[in-house]
Amino acid sequence: MNPDLLAAKRRTAILIVEDDTAIQALLTAVLSVNYDLTVIGTGQEALNQMATGAFDLILLDVGLPDMDGFTVCRQLKSDTRTREVPVIFLTSRNSAQDEVKGLEAGGIDYIAKPINPAILWARVNKHVELKHSRDALSQMARLDGLTGLSNRRTFDDILDREWRRLARVGQHLSIIMFDVDHFKLYNDTYGHGPGDVCLKKIARCAVDALQRPADMVARYGGEEFVAVLPDTQVAGAEAVAQAIRENVAAQNIPHEKSPTAKHVTVSLGHIPKIGRPPTDLVTAADHALYEAKKTGRDRAVAGTFE
Ligand SMILES: [Mg+2]
């Protein structure tokens, strides 16, 4: 299943790192109405908590008992898992020098002590809003606008990452390339609007055919799609490819002028990884797809490396 289609709505989670219990109480009183809060008092706990990836924003005291907030912030910003989480410093040392130091360490803003609840409320809300906009933009950049599937760039990233991961543990990975048979003819016959609707249905059929949480399918371009199936050998890929083909056929989308069938069909080529780099994999799957086209369409063909 494509995780992008399942992105669940949840409350925004904020990590509060502050060792003064009176200030902890004030922050909790103001922010717990809108946010899920976790309150801790040391820099080490902050690093441990942030490693879970559960937080959208962090309020970070500069003066902590075990290390200063700047050090914590620098560590968060040097780690790809936590780099994007905005850090707002809490400090009583409200000097220009500290502000510069905080911004240099990667902080996005400052809230001075004693804390004014209205300022706290306004700044935190603003930064949460900005964070959500940035997240939405970066998600949009990863998705195909028409089908909601991952786009080609995301596919390239995921294939590369999964390929490396599976190569390390000596596991297989299969990819399936497939496209809509006679799609140009479909568009010429019914128009581009119905053509788009058709592609959306094909995307849905492909997602429904996937069997494991790590499986994904992307729009490769035009009427061409590609699925990545980690830890899957040729028989497993064949089963998914046939399921995609059957799901599409079951939709019974009319395609009167198609020489292949009276409804929309897909051709698929799949290939397991055998010690080849990802680019070879894509090329081999493409060759298998070409074989499927050449031998009559509306079928899946297992590729080989030759
Ligand atoms: Mg302190």
Identify the pLDDT of residue 9: 57
| Residues forming the active site | 223
The DSSP line for 28-58 is HHHHTTTSEEEEE--HHHHHHHHTTT--SEE
How many angstroms does the Cα of residue 102 sit away from the middle of ligand 1?
Answer: 15
Alpha carbon distances (Å) from 3 to 137, 145, 223 = 17, 16, 22
Alpha carbon distance 107, 258 (integer Å): 59
How many angstroms does the Cα of residue 2 sit away from the middle of ligand 1?
Answer: 43
Average pLDDT value for the chain: 92
Identify the pLDDT of residue 61: 95
CA 211 to chain centre: 18
Q: What residues pair up with 87 in beta bridges, in sequence order?
A: 58
**pLDDT average, residue stretch 183-189:** 97
Peptide bond into 272 cis (omega under 30): no
Give SS3 for 79: coil
Alpha carbon distance 145, 151 (integer Å): 8
What does the pLDDT look like over 90-132, one tens digit per residue?
987 666 777 888 889 999 999 999 999 999 999 999 999 999 9
Least confident of 38-42, 98-102, 208-212: 98-102
Identify the pLDDT of residue 205: 98
Q: Does domain 3-139 have CATH number 3.40.50.2300?
A: yes
How many angstroms does the Cα of residue 20 sit away from the middle of ligand 1?
Answer: 6
How many angstroms does the Cα of residue 87 sit away from the middle of ligand 1?
Answer: 16
Q: CATH classification of 152-302, choosing from 3.40.50.150, 3.30.70.270, 2.60.40.10, 3.40.50.1980?
A: 3.30.70.270
What does the pLDDT look like over 217-252, one tens digit per residue?
999 999 999 999 999 999 999 999 999 999 999 999
Tokens of residue 99, six digits: 């502000």
Least confident of 26-35, 203-212, 279-288: 279-288
Contacts of residue 256, defined as CB under 8 A and 6 or more positions apart, other chains included, come to 189, 262
How many angstroms does the Cα of residue 84 sit away from the middle of ligand 1?
Answer: 24
CA 133 to chain centre: 15
Q: Judge whether 257 and 189 are in contact, CB under 8 Å.
A: yes
Q: Judge whether 271 and 303 are in contact, CB under 8 Å.
A: yes
Residue-wise burial string across 197-223, b where 16 or more C-beta atoms lie within 10 A, e elsewhere: ebbebbbbbbbebbeeebbbbbbbeeb
DSSP state of 21: H
| Direct distance between the N- and C-terminal alpha carbons of the chain, in angstroms, rounded to an integer | 32
Q: Judge whether 200 and 147 are in contact, CB under 8 Å.
A: yes
Alpha carbon distance 218, 153 (integer Å): 9
Question: What are the sequence ranges of the domains in the chain?
Answer: 3-139, 152-302
Identify the pLDDT of residue 94: 60
